[in-house]
Structure 1
Amino acid sequence: MKLIFKISLIVMVCCTFTSVNAQNKKATTGQQDRAFWAKTLYRISYPVIHNLANGTLKQNMPKEIGPQYYLNLEKVTYLEALGRTIAGVAPWLALPDDNTEEGKMRKQLRTELLKGLANSVDPSNPDYMNYRTEQQPIVDAAYVAHAFLRAPKALWEPLDETTKKRFVEEFKALRTRTGAYNNWLLFSGLTEGFLLSIGEQYDPARVQFSINKMKEWYVGDSWYSDGALFSMDYYNSYVIHPMLVDLLKVLVDKKKAPQADYDQALKRMVRYAEFLERVISPEGTYPAYGRSITYRTAAFQALAQTALMEKLPDYVLQAQVRGGLTKVMHNMYDGNQNFDDKGWLVLGFNGHQPMIADQYTSTGSLYMATLGFLTLGLPADHKFWTDAPAPWTSLKAWTGEAVKKDYKVEY
């Protein structure tokens, strides 16, 4: 029996090694990867943006909800879909037009989105969004603001003055409410930070309180607790690192915060991005732990943003990040398991799995998945896309290649 066990174990190890080696041999070019990313992001975002441009988002978007859902669905799900979609597509849409297939997709989405943004704050439009009641709009207004910060020349400046004024009014209307005592503080802080960035009156107390609490909730080695108690989930990527870094950038630019605060927050995000790169398995999967895993590829927002900002450490090659994320995206989006027959995302992680949806999750919530695609904001001739394929850390580790030793950092 012992001999049989040993033989079985050897066979398992050999099969794993062979499988991992096969993964390495299937590497695609950066141009192929980019084409896949662009088509996938277009596929995800098109139903939201196209319907909003036509005033049919509320009419056509499914309203699937998770077990024990407790929010006022009609009051919140549409703004969720808008904010989360555009926060992810913003860097991509900020690229200049060109005559490539990708360029045509970008131009179409940008043109329709500008129309849809105007519709979303027009009280006479069927798709007028709710900012005035419920707590949830505090969250999704922040994602709208984040999109404007990420692509001001593409998404904010082209808006007509009436539409701009309406957004400002809606953002200020959020001040009548407060949210949860955790990462939610950053939502209010970021929206107010956007108002500051465009020269509008902002609430410095909301901004400073959010930053102060994040500093207090830092627990070390790039991890923030989500409130007083630590939670093992992906909220450091969904929200905390990207929003804190971008909020501090606004404050530094406006001479409202010291450069050292921004530099420290950025270093922490870079370190956290290392963790995200390492959790991608040789097969291009990642752990489905913590709440909100229905946000899918949003789990990699901090990694995608770090690459977009060209701040990856020297020992984390851009091509290995591209390779790892591309493999994850193929696993999630090659098939139709995450889409319904009209192209809308369905509740689940990798398939229709409504039982794992949280009690605040609806169809609109799912569009945070776009946040994993931020690196599309780098142009096609950037080395992120042109460098030869390279194995990501876990793929190297499982095939016996040299891997940099990992150890905690303190900042």
Structure 2
Amino acid sequence: MSARVPNPPLSDEYLPGADISPYTGWTRADWTALADRMLLAADRYASPAKALITPPGAPGGYGTAIDGLEGFARTFLLAGFRVAGERGRDPLNLLERYASGVAAGTDPSSPERWTSPSEHGQAKVEAASIALILDMTRPWLWDRLGAGVQERVVNYLAQVVGDQDYPRTNWVWFRIVVEQFLASVGGPWSLEDMESDLAVHDSFVREGGWYSDGAERSYDHYCGWALHLYPILWSRMAGAKRLAAPRLPAYTEHLDRYLLDAVRLVGADGSPLIQGRSLTYRFAAAAPFWVGAFAETGALDPGLLRRAAGGIVKHFVDRGAPDEDGLLTLGWHHAWRPIAQNYSGTGSPYWAAKGMLGLALPADHPVWTSTEQPLPVEEADQLAVIAAPGWALSSTKADGVVRVYNHGTDHARPGDRTGDSPLYARLGYSTGTAPILLDEGWDAPLDQAVVLLDGAGNATHRSGFETLGVAALDGAAVLASRARCHWITPGAAGPDPDHGSGRHGEARDAAVVTTVSIVRGAWEVRCVYVDPSDAPGWSDVAALRIGGWPISAGEPPAATIGVSPASASAVGGGHTSTVVGVVGDVGFADESATSATAGVHRLEDATPLGEWTATPWLQTPPRAATWTIAALALNGGRVTPRVVLTGSERAPTVAITWPDGVTTSAPLPDLHLMSA
């Protein structure tokens, strides 16, 4: 098992200036070579009859049996795409191997039998992948299985029918897909199940083609790689037309609108936004672009769909994923287990196969024959409001980085009093930075956070906040939210938190904090107002802290700290993070400037992007009923915005002159009215 799989070289067919892939340089041959390399590598860890594929490493939270089932089902996705796109041509005999695995996995007497859906919830997820590919490769695999094996497959999958223990999240699609396949082969299925699950999916629809992954404010890559993917693929399954046809126009309309946002979220280097759970699925983030090709979207040119998908996959391939042995490990560019949730095992990363869905489309499809088009960030700076998740997007062509400012997503409900999840509740995410994911990042928010500190340095959390607005204004975007900030005593109450939400515990209120972000280009002007009314913990508040972008690098980032005005910056990994008291009439530059302090917080092995991470911060004594204003940037340059607070106490306005000379005047919320 220790011998390495030969790594087939990627295609050398690309000729500069002549190829249809001027941005990635990848032809379809590069994609097929990558798929074959991954499949051959995974096969080295298959059980004798091929039913379980268990890549090396410590078992996941659900145990080795689930790891092996995931390894089979998720690589089966890739094998199925590979063969379907070749119209059944299978030079590696992939389907023969997977047919053997299906026969052994569904045999109750086999030592390689699969954990069943009635035994473990995760098997419901994997059953959907198996059913999807059995349908997609039907003439070459399912139709050639013996009657006994087919019967065992039906018996295995039929355990989902009528099962009420499906989370009301993207999981509803796992039952829809399985029951659709069962119906197509004469197995048991339930129209009531299907219609109920489809109705739940419809309840997730949000503005602008977005879906929330459940009732919480859960916006992440699952919107694209699950909630947009399955409706389109389901509609193409055998026998799905009767239920799918009346719904497909809405699904396609939602997808078209979502893709306009999704393509703006891809960095020029191909990095997807580093936000949300299950990031170890990596280039599964490319899936919605291939889904757009399947749906024949009119929103994006086929060449742009391939450019976006190819940029994402190539981003990881160029940086070590798959690794030198051809395996996808738990990590990001390289193995980094802290990125995983407790449900993640050694087979889990192969959901990345969804990012190679385009291989299921034949070589003569327009998505493969059209010339790549540039990403939005490669053409010009971008500024957009994304209403559903409460985001403003600001990307800059000069560095190719996409930034998202967040006042609407926390993987919680309004009024919840949990801890902040660094994956969801930070004020900013980007394609060039990653949130701090060590325990400190969960328990003591610092990066891209506004917190109140007690005398011992314990930081508050903001989950459960109220979104006040997200809008475009005067060449900028303005976002605002209001939080009853609270300290959390971790572990004092609540369930296991490791499905993305923040940690539970006993909550104690510190104060109501209103935060307004005004963004343009690489800069954000962050305005903070603290209201201690009805907050029993206010007497314990010792400081207000504003944290900036976390910079990760292989070497400790260089730090610079200024005094007048208070400022701090960190430089490393090709990026610069800056936090500065604004030069103007308010904020850290007013009469409290002498009491403001700045610094850079350093951590080791805190993100998957580098061994060292540095986060600049500003801190001032707490000031009740007063606006505190700072400017923050990721690669913002030396010229900082100039900010002046005008108007009355009841109706203040922030006037900002940006480094490019553009001026924005943004009214701040009337906190007196809101408190009434």
* TM-score, L = length of structure 1: 0.79
Q: Residue in 2 aligned with 1:223?
A: 210
Q: 1:174 to 1:219 in 2, by over 3 A?
A: same
Q: Residue in 1 aligned with 2:81?
A: 91
Q: Residue in 2 aligned with 1:330?
A: 314
Q: How does 1:385-396 map to 2 (within 5 A)?
A: 385-396=368-379
Q: Gaps (5+ residues) in structure 2?
A: 1-15, 389-676
Deviations 1:227-284 (A, max 9, x none): 11121211112322222333355597453x3633122112212322333222221221
CA contact (8 A) 2:50 2:98 kept: no
Q: How does 1:315-354 map to 2 (within 5 A)?
A: 316-339=300-323, 342-354=325-337
Q: Residue in 2 aligned with 1:117?
A: 102
Q: Residue in 2 aligned with 1:133?
A: 119
Taking the aligned partners of 2:306 and 2:30, their CA distance within structure 1 comes to 12
Taking the aligned partners of 1:335 and 1:228, their CA distance within structure 2 comes to 36
* Residue identity in the other structure for 2:138: P
Q: 1:312 to 1:118 in 2, by over 3 A?
A: same
Cα RMSD, aligned residues only: 3.1
Q: 1:204 to 1:96 in 2, by over 3 A?
A: same
* Residue identity in the other structure for 2:354: L
CA contact (8 A) 2:235 2:241 kept: no
Q: 1:171 to 1:59 in 2, by over 3 A?
A: closer
* Residue identity in the other structure for 2:278: S
Deviations 1:39-92 (A, max 9, x none): 1122223344565484266586324356xx3x2x13322221222222344233
Instruction: Give SS of 2:247's match.
Output: helix
Report how far residue 357 of structure 1 moved. Answer: 0.5
Instruction: Give SS of 1:157's match.
Output: helix
Q: Is 1:41 aligned to residue 26 of structure 2? A: no
Q: Residue in 2 aligned with 1:269?
A: 255
Taking the aligned partners of 1:368 and 1:83, their CA distance within structure 2 comes to 9
Instruction: Give SS of 1:363's match.
Output: coil
Q: How does 1:102-181 map to 2 (within 5 A)?
A: 105=91, 107-131=92-116, 132-175=118-161, 178-181=165-168
Taking the aligned partners of 1:28 and 1:328, their CA distance within structure 2 comes to 19
Instruction: Give SS of 2:206's match.
Output: strand
Q: Relative contact order (alpha carbons < 8 A, sep ≥ 6): 1 or 2 greater?
A: 1
CA contact (8 A) 1:298 1:370 kept: yes
Q: How does 1:219-368 map to 2 (within 5 A)?
A: 219-248=206-235, 253=240, 255=242, 257=243, 259-307=245-293, 309=294, 311-313=296-298, 316-339=300-323, 342-368=325-351
Q: 1:317 to 1:258 in 2, by over 3 A?
A: closer
Q: Gaps (5+ residues) in structure 1?
A: 1-24
* Residue identity in the other structure for 1:199: G
Instruction: Give SS of 2:27's match.
Output: helix
Taking the aligned partners of 1:74 and 1:192, their CA distance within structure 2 comes to 27
Taking the aligned partners of 1:245 and 1:94, their CA distance within structure 2 comes to 16
Aligned length: 368
Taking the aligned partners of 1:82 and 1:60, their CA distance within structure 2 comes to 8
Q: 1:53 to 1:367 in 2, by over 3 A?
A: same
Taking the aligned partners of 2:19 and 2:58, their CA distance within structure 1 comes to 36
Between Structure 1 and Structure 2, the one with more strand by share is: 2
Percent sequence identity is 24
Taking the aligned partners of 2:244 and 2:353, their CA distance within structure 1 comes to 31
Q: 1:305 to 1:86 in 2, by over 3 A?
A: farther
CA contact (8 A) 1:321 1:392 kept: no
Report how far residue 137 of structure 1 moved. Answer: 0.7
CA contact (8 A) 1:284 1:324 kept: yes
Instruction: Give SS of 1:44's match.
Output: helix
Deviations 1:21-56 (A, max 9, x none): xxxx88954594211111112222334456548426
Q: 1:57 to 1:215 in 2, by over 3 A?
A: closer
Bigger drift between 32-41 and 50-59 goes to 50-59
Between Structure 1 and Structure 2, the one with more helix by share is: 1
